[in-house]
A and B are shown apart, each in its own frame.
Chain A
Amino acid sequence: MERNVVLIALFAALIAALGLLPKFTLASGIPITAQSMGIMLCGTVLGARRGALAVVLFLVLVAAGLPLLAGGRGGLGVFTTPWAGFLFGFPVAAFVGGLVMEKWKSGNTTIVAGVAAIVGGIGALYLVAVPYYMVMKPAGLSEALITAMAPFMPGDLIKAVITGAITGALYKARPASVLSRA
Chain B
Amino acid sequence: MISLTSPVRTRAHSWPAGAKLGALAVAGIALFVFDTLPAQLAAFAGMLGLYALPGRLFLRTGMERLWVLWPFVAIIGLFHLVTQTWFEGLLILLRLVTAVGLANLVTMTTPLDDMIAVIRWLATPLRRFGLNTRALELSIALVIRILPTLIDNGQRLIQSWRARSRRRPGWQIVMPFTLLALDDAEHMADALRARGGLVDKKGDFDGT
**A interface vs B, CB < 8 Å?**
1-10, 12-14, 16-18, 20-22, 24-25, 34, 37, 41, 45, 49-50, 53, 57-58, 60-61, 63-68, 71-83, 137, 143, 146-147, 151, 162, 165-166, 169-170, 173-174, 177
Contact = CB atoms under 8 A, between A and B. Distances in A.
Contacts of B39: none
B186 A1 contact: no
Interface string B172-208: 0111011101111110110011000110000011111
Given A10-B184, A53-B206, A65 B3 contact: yes
Nearest to B150: A17
A1 B174 contact: no
Contacts of B135: 1, 5
B170 interface: yes
Contacts of B65: 75, 77
A108 B132 CA distance: 35
Contacts, number: 196
Given A17-B150, A76-B106, A177 B186 contact: yes
17 contacts: A2-B192, A5-B139, A6-B142, A14-B150, A24-B170, A37-B171, A57-B143, A64-B112, A64-B115, A67-B4, A73-B68, A75-B107, A77-B101, A77-B107, A166-B178, A170-B175, A177-B182
> What secondary structure prevails in chain B residues at the interface with A?
helix
- What is the size category of the interface that chain B forms with chain A? 35 or more
A106 to B, nearest CB: 24
> Which secondary structure dominates chain A's binding surface?
helix
Contact of B104 (A34, A58, A77, A177): A77
Interface of B: 1-5, 21, 24, 28, 65-66, 68-69, 72, 75-76, 79, 83, 92, 96, 99-104, 106-108, 110, 112, 115-116, 119, 135-136, 138-140, 142-144, 146-147, 150-151, 154, 158, 168-171, 173-175, 177-179, 181-186, 188-189, 192-193, 197-198, 204-208
A14 B178 contact: yes
Contacts of B142: 5-6, 9-10, 13
A82 B28 CA distance: 13
Q: Which of A9, A79, A165 has the most CB of B within 10 A?
A: A9
A37 to B, nearest CB: 7
